[in-house]
Structures are given as C-alpha cells and as structure tokens.
Structure 1
C-alpha cells in the first residue's frame, strides 16, 4: 500500500502509518470511495494549490479506511494529490468500524446534508433541502420556537429514518419556485405538518403563498407575501420564526373555517407560538 516512513500498529485496533502518498496511490484509494459525500471542487482546489506551492503540511488528521477497505475519510486530500501530480506524506489509518462514518469530521467538515447523502442515497440538492427543513422540524418538536437550527447530524438522520414524510416534504418544496418570498426549506417544514391534515389543502396553501396564486386581494397570504418581499428589499428579511408563526396562524384559522379578518393580525407576536391543528 505504499512506502512506509513510520509504522505504529495497534494489534487490537486500527493500524496507523505515515506514508508517502503518490498520485497513483491516490487514484487507487479513491476507487474505494464508496458512499462518500460529494467532493467540494473549491476545497480540492485549495488543497491542490497548497501542494503545488510547497505549502502542504502533514497534520495528525488521517486518511481513514474501514475494516473492509472502504475509504471513510480523505477524498478531498486524495483528489488534490491526484490532480497535483505530486507525492506528499499523509497519516493513514486502517481497520476502522464502518459505523463511525457519520461522525467523522475532517479538513472540510461534513454537513448534515453530507450524512443524508451517504446514508440515504438521495440527490444532493434534495439532501440539502431535507437537512435544513428537518432541522426546523426538530426545533418545532422541541418547542424551540426561535428555530436556532442546532440539531446534530445524527439527530437529523435518525429523525428522517423514522419519519419518511420529511423526504416527501423536501421533494415537494424542491418543485416550488426559487424566487419565492421565503426559503423553500421553510415551505418544506410547513408542508411536513400541514400535509398530515390534508395534502391537497397544504399544497393549495403553499401555492398561494410561495407561487402567488392567491384567492383575491384580501387573501391573508398575499399580505404575508408582500410583507416578506418588502422586508427583503429593505435587506431586513423577516426571521423564519415570525414567518412560521404567521403561516401556522393563517392555516389554523382557515382549518377552523374562520379566516383572519385583519391580515396584520397574522404577524402578531404578543401571544404563544401557535401549533398546527
């Protein structure tokens, strides 16, 4: 597996070596890159420049392989080595359990969407939408109505595995226009809950708000759309917590058959955060 300049082997666990990694070795090892996150071309380019400029420094962060030989971590470094055509020293660790994959963080930290991509095999853009929307859903479940978005990667993955409707919500939101009054991930979070009441009504509701197909000039969602658009133009976008508060309040009123009479009341913040009915 290459020329060893140092060898530190633990017979009861992973094997750690320092190796001069050639472009040929990098190419072969990348062939074992099964189920890894999508590579970032920008990060690879940064590493490649460092190698070409003689600024590469070996750190203690290893290139990692599983007990079965799969590459768990290091694809950006290996791609940079391959593209640079240079040989550089790297720490290499072999014999790791496959299960550690989703908690590995290297030179470019894994994002929640990276873990979803690897574990679920969904398209990259779907995973990005799903990761963000699920984070808001978890906040809502925890009654963290400021929506701080601090859910851990493992928490997001576990939630999606237990609640596949989150995937359907992300896929639905992806089909909405990009030029919408709020990020589509907010719509995905809303759809996750509202569609459990009525899928058709949830889709019509979001068509009115996200697309602009409103029910006349007095539609509460038209008022909310206009407020969001004006705030964005002023470079003072409305926080997702306030948007979701208004959306849920309007939805609940319509589900009760008693739409809000004065649209500005949807934006009130002087009472408890509403929950879906």
Structure 2
C-alpha cells in the first residue's frame, strides 16, 4: 500500500514540473542562424542560470575559430521559453572574443526544465576519436598528442589556462611525425622504465626529434638499465626515480613534470658525455622559465 502511494505521489510531483509535450512541440523552433558578435553578446546577457564559464574552454574555441578549424557539427545553442540561455555560452563567448560570426543551430522555446538534462552525458574524448579511426594505442597517442601540442605552444610545465582543443590536437597529429612510434615505445617499455606509457612515449618523441639513433639507445637504457656503468646519466636517472617512488610509499604517483625534467637533465648530460653522481632540479621548483630543454 505504502509503495503504491509513494509511487503515485512521485509521479504527480514529476509531471507537475514538466511542460506538456504538446506545448513543447508548439513553442520550440529550430533554425540555422549565423550568430554575429553582437547577437552573441545579447544572448550572453540572458545567461543568468548557467554553470560557471570556463575561460579555458572559451579560449580554445576562440583559437579554433581564428585558425578556421571550427566545424559545424549540429550542436545547438539552446534558449528557453522565457529567453534565458541554457546551453552554448562557451561558443558564444568565443564568437564575442574573436569577433568572428559562426553558423549555429539555434533552438528556442525550450522549457526551463530542459537545462537539468543538458550536458550530463559522458563527454567524448580525443582518445575516443582515435579509437574510431582504428589508431593503435589510442589512449597513449591521445595523451602524447596533447603534450606535444602544449610543448609546441611553449608550455613546458603547468599549462595554466591553455587546454588544447580536439581540432588543435587533430592538427598536431596530422602534422607531426613520429607520434605512433613514440606511443608504441611507451606502451612496450613502460613497465621496465617504471613510467606511464604516454609520459615515456612523449619523452621518446621529444628526444628522437633531436637525434633519433642516440635517443633510441638512451631511451632503451632508461627502460632496461642494461650495461650501464656507475655514473651513467641513464643509471642515475633510474636510481633517482626509484628513490622518489620509495619516498611516496604508495601515497600517489610521481609528477609527470618531475619525471620529464629529470629525464631531460639526464639526456643533456649523456649528450655532453658527462659522468654524474646526481640529478638536481632548479631551486624553487619547475616553471616555464626553469624547465630544462633537451639539447
């Protein structure tokens, strides 16, 4: 009895907050619209009930628009029946930032409750795209492409507000050679090196573009430690990583920036023919200015 009562009460509450389907069909309109900056500003002014604007996302969209990489894909700008914007603020912000008009699918007249179920699904990632394209080691390739995009944009350590967009990463993947091979190396040798596949693969790519044969030998030794004499930079690096992991005692993972910076320092010593006893990082931590650059 109580179960039936609760069910009826719940159904009544849900239906009371929903706009009837017949009304929705009458009031909702869908049309292709070229949204100019002035229109984007007007729509954003009605953005009173939306999630907080993520500036890095809007900046990424703006870069894609400026680089003519912005695709019309059918995603909508949604406006509810009382004129409020409920979806599309980052695209509109990008139009306003760039001053470039964009063709969008505009949906107006939506019931306000539509916002509750907007953008709650699982987001497709660039790794998903690579898997659809049957790219081997898609997860590692995706992470390496992202790091290459950041590196080539001048971001060595923390990337701040810069978040590569999928069009930017697609452009990197198409233009930069050696990514598939780097991912394969990372996946194959991650266990021996004690470094996650994408991090190891990015390091391989970074060094191989400087001098492929020495980089391949050096990275093989990073992975297996075979035949290294005392004081060899690759051996010193492996020992430093082991001590760093022991210091954590299972309380998390090593910073990707720390691993890469130490590896680059070791590579630079190897290239110089130096025998070393330790690897030191810059006083005050790693920053864009102090992050080591491979030679």
TM-score over 0.5 (shorter chain)? yes
- Residue-pair matches, total: 184
Structure 1 pair 217–255 and aligned structure 2 pair: CA distance change class (3 A): closer
Structure 1 pair 147–128 and aligned structure 2 pair: CA distance change class (3 A): farther
* Deviation (angstroms), 1:130: 0.8
> So what's the TM-score if we normalise by structure 1?
0.56
Structure 1 counterpart SS, 2:245:
helix
Instruction: Please say if residues 136 and 147 of structure 1, whose CA atoms lie closer than 8 Å, have aligned partners that are also in contact.
Output: no
* Deviation (angstroms), 1:7: 5.2
* Deviation (angstroms), 1:177: 4.1
* Deviation (angstroms), 1:227: 2.2
Find 1:222's aligned residue among 232, 235, 257: 235
Match of 1:85 in 2: none
* 1:80-114 deviation per Cα after TM superposition (whole angstroms, max 9, x unaligned): xxxxxxxxxxxxxxxx99xxxxxxx7611112211
Match of 1:141 in 2: 152
- 1:107 corresponds to 2:118: no
Match of 1:181 in 2: 194
Structure 1 counterpart SS, 2:191:
coil
Structure 1 pair 107–11 and aligned structure 2 pair: CA distance change class (3 A): closer
Structure 1 counterpart SS, 2:189:
coil
Segments of structure 2 that go 5 or more residues without pairing to the other structure are 1-20, 33-72, 76-103, 106-118, 284-288
* 1:129-150 deviation per Cα after TM superposition (whole angstroms, max 9, x unaligned): 0111222222222332224484
Instruction: Please say if residues 147 and 240 of structure 1, whose CA atoms lie closer than 8 Å, have aligned partners that are also in contact.
Output: no
Instruction: Please say if residues 133 and 185 of structure 1, whose CA atoms lie closer than 8 Å, have aligned partners that are also in contact.
Output: yes
* 1:57-98 deviation per Cα after TM superposition (whole angstroms, max 9, x unaligned): xxxxxxxxx89xxxx9xxxxxxxxxxxxxxxxxxxxxxx99x
> So what's the TM-score if we normalise by structure 2?
0.53
Find 1:117's aligned residue among 125, 131, 134: 131
Instruction: Please say if residues 144 and 198 of structure 2, whose CA atoms lie closer than 8 Å, have aligned partners that are also in contact.
Output: yes
Structure 1 pair 225–205 and aligned structure 2 pair: CA distance change class (3 A): same
Match of 1:164 in 2: 177
- 1:276 corresponds to 2:294: yes
Structure 1 pair 180–145 and aligned structure 2 pair: CA distance change class (3 A): same
Supply the RMSD in Å over aligned alpha carbons.
Answer: 3.3
Structure 1 pair 146–214 and aligned structure 2 pair: CA distance change class (3 A): farther
Equivalent positions of 1:86-105 (< 5 A) are: none
Equivalent positions of 1:13-52 (< 5 A) are: none
Match of 1:56 in 2: none
Find 2:266's aligned residue among 244, 250, 257: 250
Cα distance between partner residues in 1 of 2:131 and 2:177: 14
Query: Which contiguous aligned blocks of 4+ residues in structure 1 show a shift greater than 3 angstroms?
Result: 4-13, 147-150, 235-238
Cα distance between partner residues in 2 of 1:173 and 1:222: 19
- 1:200 corresponds to 2:213: yes
Which is worse superposed, 129-138 or 217-226? 217-226
Segments of structure 1 that go 5 or more residues without pairing to the other structure are 14-65, 73-95, 98-104
Match of 2:15 in 1: none
